[in-house]
Structure 1
Amino acid sequence: MAVMVQEPPVQEEQDALLEVFLSLDTPKGFRAELIDGEIVVTPPPVSQHEMIVGEITMQVGRDASARFHAAANKGLIMPSGGRCPSGYVIPDGTFALAELLVFKNEKPWTEPDGVAMVVEVTSRRAERDRGAKRYCYARGGIPLYLLVDREREEVTLHSKPEDGDYHQLNVMPYGKPLPIPEPFGFDLDTADFS
């Protein structure tokens, strides 16, 4: 007698994974993300990584033509679909126009509405920043995604999100200024990134 085993529906698997993810209690300094159907736990970043995030934040505060609020490690809930099947991501830096009060709520996870730019600085798993996170940020409609690729020693500004990807990329090697369009309206100095 044959016994048929039926696979659980994909939605049930996603719901179970999300439940496990949301119940995680990561050690201090570590962060957990749900990217592309995988739970990713990342150890605290190295000093150069944090120095680059700090440098970008300082330049935005000093040089941008508008006033921005910045958040480090703010959890964003990206809409799933396309090359972003599940997205609870934590950018290294998140910027929103100050008047929008995007970071006012106390919830650890929020929708990307009102976010003007996210920043990622590559570390051990650079392919996630180059691929899965790129598609999730585009799917969420975030206008600008700034990727500082420490392995390649280059900075890429992704813009014009549509249909789950960014359709314009501006790549500069370390040391060259990278124009950041309005509402930022300044050239990012990358000389100190290496």
Structure 2
Amino acid sequence: MSDETNLDSVVDAPPARRGGGPFALAANALAAIGTVWIFLMMLVIVADVAGRNLFDAPITGVAEVCARSVVAIVFLQIASAVLAGRMTRADFLIRPVSRRFPGLTRVMEALFALAGVAVYVAILLAAWPDTAEAWRSGEYFGVQGVFTIPTLPFRAIIVIGAGFAALAYLIAAAASLLRDRTLPA
């Protein structure tokens, strides 16, 4: 029983959860901004629904801003989730392997994290040209004369969030490989 608990602690422990540090502080600050953004978005949606139903006066642009906001919020919160070990993973595969081969588990976690690095670097590289173009051209979305908002902040958040996520996964990969090789007592 105690061996199972010790092995479970190897599998369950987030590989990158090692105190704070400036990067973790920045990632958590981005996540906090995303959380506040969710709250504000909920208030605006409620105000829009109330305005529509009670006063026949909707708030212009709520649907457009909220649609873009969901993506931005996800990218603000990804790095913090990675560092805290809260990203989804295949426990059905990792747990049986960890019971027999804890070292292999660390390698599997590192490979998963390196795949995460590759995915978020690819997202960053794919999003960068559109972000640069939005900067140069003053691109906006919405209907001119009715409601418009610049796309640059939303595009920049995707680039920044993808960069932070890639670095967080890189930290997680290193932490997985460098994790103490002995089981806790």
When normalised by structure 2's length, the TM-score is 0.28
- Please tell me whether Structure 1 or Structure 2 has the larger radius of gyration of its CA atoms: 2
More strand by share: 1
Q: Which has the higher contact order (CA 8 A, sep 6+)?
A: 2
